[in-house]
Amino acid sequence: MKLYFASDPGVSSSRCKVFFPEPEILGFTGGPGCGDTALFGNQLASMVALEAGVSRIYLTRRVWFPDLTTRMTIGMVDTRTLSAWPQLGEQFRPLVLEGLPEGVSCAQPQVLRRGGRFELFFWVHGAGMIRYVKGEGSDGVRFRVQNLERPCLYHPCDRDVGMEPSAAGLLTVKDHLEKKVERRADLRRLISNDATTVSYDEAVGQYVMYSVMLLKSEFSPERRVDEDNAPEWVRVIHRRTSPDGLAWSDAELVLWAQPWERVDLQFYSLQTLLQPGRICGVAG
């Protein structure tokens, strides 16, 4: 695997065209302009091709309120051109999600179109839950969640896994968490911090997931960064596979900082594009 950085001499803006501006701000996070305006997070968006040359972009809208609570909504924007970024504030339409508790937030939509149906993977936040789930739908707008009680992944602060308090630093807002948790050690093999992407490999007939994993920094003390929001942890990327998008394999470590690389280097996300005989990825 060859790893390139945006600052490398051979990787310039003339060779790397940025399609997703990050982020488009319609108001200030937690400051003036919050409320009816929002911040659109595009770094873990996805896109599918529809009929008649239409592309549908799925992304997250995050609204902050004056009391610094927040709400995340996943939705879509349809566009006939990819040469100009659409007006997100005017064209954004929330998805209709069935099978979720009232009042939860949702983020990071990954949408696949297969066999005439749409499949949606996303994070659910609220009611004590922070978990990654799958939904299905026929039109790409309305989805029914299939596995809320047995999700694809758990965040360390989900009510059912209840990791140690050091994981709480991974959350920006904690107002939606339950104070009492039922600890389920048997579920910890399905833990991920956050950024997750899913694709389907037609060549082998399986779903492929790349997500961030947390390793204890005590095992690599030179990589501990005290200024980090969770200094007890180091972020790396892991891979999982699934035959149905519901039951996932154990984690396989695929991307982590090498001994000769800078000590504060961590990996948070990996977007991939499957191509014949190889995978092209963009790491964050």
Confidence band, pLDDT 50/70/90 cuts, at residue 198 = very high
Distance of CA 234 to the CA centre of its chain: 18
Q: How far apart are CA 120 and CA 145, in angstroms?
A: 9
**In this predicted model, which residue has the larger pLDDT, 121 or 83?**
121
Please check the confidence at residue 136 and state whether its pLDDT lies above 80: yes
Average pLDDT, the chain: 79
What pLDDT does 28 receive? 38
Task: Give the phi and the psi of residue 167 in degrees, each rounded to 5.
Answer: -75, -15
What pLDDT does 119 receive? 98
* E strand or H helix that includes residue 122: strand 117-126
User: Amino acid identity of 38?
Assistant: A
Confidence band, pLDDT 50/70/90 cuts, at residue 24 = very low
Please check the confidence at residue 17 and state whether its pLDDT lies above 80: no
**In this predicted model, which residue has the larger pLDDT, 69 or 95?**
95
Give Rg (Cα) of the chain.
Answer: 19
Tokens representing residue 86 in the block:
């659409």
Residue 38: Cβ-neighbour burial (10 angstroms; 0-12, 13-18, 19+):
buried
Using an 8 Å Cβ cutoff, are 201 and 274 in contact? yes
Q: Where is average pLDDT lowest: 90-99, 147-156, 272-281?
A: 272-281
244-283 tens-digit pLDDT = 999 999 999 998 888 888 888 888 888 887 777 777 878 8
Q: How far apart are CA 283 and CA 5, in angstroms?
A: 9
Tokens representing residue 82 in the block:
């990819």
Please check the confidence at residue 10 and state whether its pLDDT lies above 70: no
**In this predicted model, which residue has the larger pLDDT, 131 or 173?**
131
Instruction: Look at residue 86 and give its three-state secondary structure.
Output: coil
What pLDDT does 11 receive? 46
Mean pLDDT of 138-163: 90
**In this predicted model, which residue has the larger pLDDT, 193 or 48?**
48
What pLDDT does 21 receive? 44
* pTM check: above 0.85: no
Q: How far apart are CA 242 and CA 199, in angstroms?
A: 10
Please check the confidence at residue 139 and state whether its pLDDT lies above 70: yes
32-90 tens-digit pLDDT = 434 455 677 666 788 899 999 999 999 998 887 777 677 889 999 999 987 777 777 78
What pLDDT does 7 receive? 53
Q: What residues pair up with 234 in beta bridges, in sequence order?
A: 215
- What share of the chain in percent tops pLDDT 70? 75
202-237 tens-digit pLDDT = 989 999 999 998 877 777 777 777 777 677 778 889
Using an 8 Å Cβ cutoff, are 232 and 217 in contact? yes
What pLDDT does 23 receive? 45
